[in-house]
Structure 1
């Protein structure tokens, strides 16, 4: 269902300003492609993408090949209706500030109407105040205040992930590709009856504590929400335990052990 947002994702530009290390350009390209983003614009990089960038891109070569090269930030932002600047530190000047999730939601919403941009600054010093003045908002990734240095490609990955997550939420795309065939309430009750019977046969617990024990076991399996295949496995284990108990008791009495129990044969 995220297909309906492909046009919007294609209108989101990641603008890297004066990147020093070409490896970061390649790593950023990889970060974008893994999240379904395809637009990267480079503003006056110290070096254009090279072999190191290709190596770090790890298959996102097409993004590097299509990346725009610009002399100024103004050129890279041409035609954008919304510009968000990434800032590693909170500025003394008051600026509309977004967290990564809110930033992603705004970019997705605005990209439905036209071009938008997310601007990441230099590895060492970020964006200048003049560059920030071109931005409508700032986005700040809340890192550890005692070690807040975040690599530009790592920042791109965090923000690209949030954009994809926002697109999935907006499209109603489920987290799981296919629904599980969960065990029904009556099937779970049958399992709990089987479990209680088996615990009694193998001598686990006592009658005084059995109610509390079963309540806890119910909570455990209700949290797990087993599917039908998993429930069959569990019941097969219980049947096997019952069979061993029966054979053990028969052998202690000097009786010949019974054939394999029917429940065990079925599993």
Structure 2
């Protein structure tokens, strides 16, 4: 299970936090580190020094321009968030996250990601809305700020506990043998773009006055854990709506010119 878990850091501003994260990951048996638009030197002496023996994770860390690229192949994405958001999202405790991971990682094509935001501002609402769920570490409310590497350590520990006890966990996220692999994050993002275009085309969605429509629909579909066949069906439905909408528009144009 641990080999299917990626740690993603967004906009990291201090190389020591990259090294500290690598060390925390290596302690818990994780090896896949991804960095999104880092704001500091990644492979320099300070990050390697803080890695304290986990240098290989720093050297092998992949750098991406966007979160979408970093988690494009992932089927389960969880964002770490310490702040209450205006639009609530499915929220997990670290222990509940660990308990859920074995099922999420069971399918052959599964890939999970834990995403951590910037040291100074965390993750944006848009980034968090690209996650299936959020995880919150219940710290002391009078002193709640965690160092980035410490936050990674807490969640990595829960993931390791879950992996050690995976023999007693469900084999799939649904508790039964599923007939199709889960849709990837990349597939979901293409679907959301197609959905927004279609809803705009049929005048259901106004991009100039969105009223959280797409955010709420994103939350609905991310919560549904769509598989690849269901994704094909949904895209097919949207394609049929597009075809009918354009045919109707042509007919109305023809009638108006007649």
Q: Normalising by the residue count of structure 2, what TM-score does the alignment of the two structures yield?
A: 0.62
The correspondence for 1:84, drawn from 75, 78, 85, is 78
Give yes or no for the alignment of 1:145 onto 2:141.
yes
Gaps of 5+ in 2: 169-258
Structure 2 CA distance for aligned equivalents of residues 171 and 34 of structure 1: 22
Which residue number in structure 1 is paired with residue 61 of structure 2? 67
Q: CA deviation at 1:112?
A: 2.0
Any conservation in 2 of the 1:28–1:152 contact (CA below 8 Å)?
A: yes
Structure 1 CA distance for aligned equivalents of residues 15 and 8 of structure 2: 14
Structure 2 CA distance for aligned equivalents of residues 70 and 162 of structure 1: 26
The correspondence for 2:94, drawn from 97, 100, 104, is 100
Any conservation in 2 of the 1:25–1:49 contact (CA below 8 Å)?
A: no
Structure with the greater relative contact order (CA < 8 A, sep ≥ 6): 1 or 2? 2
Which residue number in structure 1 is paired with residue 28 of structure 2? 35
Which residue number in structure 1 is paired with residue 105 of structure 2? 111
Structure 1 CA distance for aligned equivalents of residues 152 and 99 of structure 2: 16
Gaps of 5+ in 1: 1-7, 173-267
- The CA deviation string for residues 105-152 of structure 1, in whole angstroms up to 9 with x for no partner, is 222321222111110000011000010110010000000111111111
Structure 2 CA distance for aligned equivalents of residues 108 and 26 of structure 1: 27
Q: CA deviation at 1:88?
A: 1.5
Q: CA RMSD in A?
A: 1.1
Q: Secondary structure at the match of 1:84?
A: strand
Which protein has the larger Cα radius of gyration, Structure 1 or Structure 2?
Answer: 1
Q: CA deviation at 1:170?
A: 2.1
- The CA deviation string for residues 194-213 of structure 1, in whole angstroms up to 9 with x for no partner, is xxxxxxxxxxxxxxxxxxxx
Q: Normalising by the residue count of structure 1, what TM-score does the alignment of the two structures yield?
A: 0.60
Structure 2 CA distance for aligned equivalents of residues 67 and 109 of structure 1: 26
